Amino acid sequence: MRINLYRFLTSELFISFFYRLVLLYSWTFRLKIENDKGWMEYRKNGGVVLLCTWHQQFFSAVRPFKNYKIFNPSIMISQSRDGEIVAKMALRNGWNPVRGSSSNGGMGALKKMITNLKEKKLAAHIVDGPKGPSGTVKAGTIRLAHAADAVIAEQLVQDGAVDVPADQVRARNPRLACAHRTRQEQTDIVRQLAF
């Protein structure tokens, strides 16, 4: 009997197991959430917030992002095969995956993200794609924030063992000792760039 690997990897059984494994592994991270009260208060008062992170850092955000499921937020995920796995995991985490990327289905996904962000007032976006260039913000992020009149709260993961200024942290994989940082300082810069 031949097993279809893709069908197995996207099955509910595997996704359930893998999701639990990711959550279990993420409990080994020593995460410290910083500066999230500002954007949460802003959203509570009617503001629109777009959480942004780098592609290489989204894995460490799985556990903390579970806390935001009460807002029913959206996140854009590529239409690739591995995106199917990530989208199913996002659903389990309480997020609404919108499928598309800059290389496939991007315009439709961007319109859906804008609609969802305006309605729910919270969404997340991975600012650089898996195909790169790494550490370079793609234009869709700016369009999304501008169209929904959203502030951007940047999600940074910084290794707790290394004292590197947050604005210099770029695409790094999380290690067992890492700090999860949330910042809102870039809002005015992003709105200026959007015009």
Q: In terms of pLDDT, which residue wins out, 177 or 68? A: 68
User: What's the rounded mean pLDDT across residues 62-86?
Assistant: 88
Distance CA 68, CA 155 (A): 14
Which residue from 191, 194, 153, 175 is spatially nearest to 26, judged by alpha carbons?
Answer: 175
Answer whether residue 182 shows pLDDT above 50.
no
Q: Which of 46-50, 71-75, 157-161 has the lowest mean pLDDT?
A: 157-161
3-class DSSP state for residue 79? coil
Name the residue type at position 177.
A
Which residue from 111, 124, 114 is spatially nearest to 66, judged by alpha carbons?
Answer: 124
Q: Kindly tell me the burial class for residue 43, based on how many C-beta atoms sit within 10 Å of its own C-beta (0-12, 13-18, 19 or more).
A: buried
Distance CA 149, CA 128 (A): 21
**Residue 12: partners with Cβ closer than 8 Å, 6 or more residues away:** 88
Q: Which fold has domain 5-194?
A: Cobalt-precorrin-4 Transmethylase; domain 1 (3.40.1010)
User: What's the rounded mean pLDDT across residues 90-102?
Assistant: 90
Structural domain boundaries of the chain? 5-194
pTM of the entire structure?
0.76
Residue-wise pLDDT for 76-95, tens only, equals: 998 988 889 989 999 999 99
Residue-wise pLDDT for 131-180, tens only, equals: 767 778 888 888 999 999 999 888 776 655 545 444 444 434 333 333 44
pLDDT of residue 137: 82
Distance CA 175, CA 87 (A): 24
Answer whether residue 111 shows pLDDT above 80.
yes
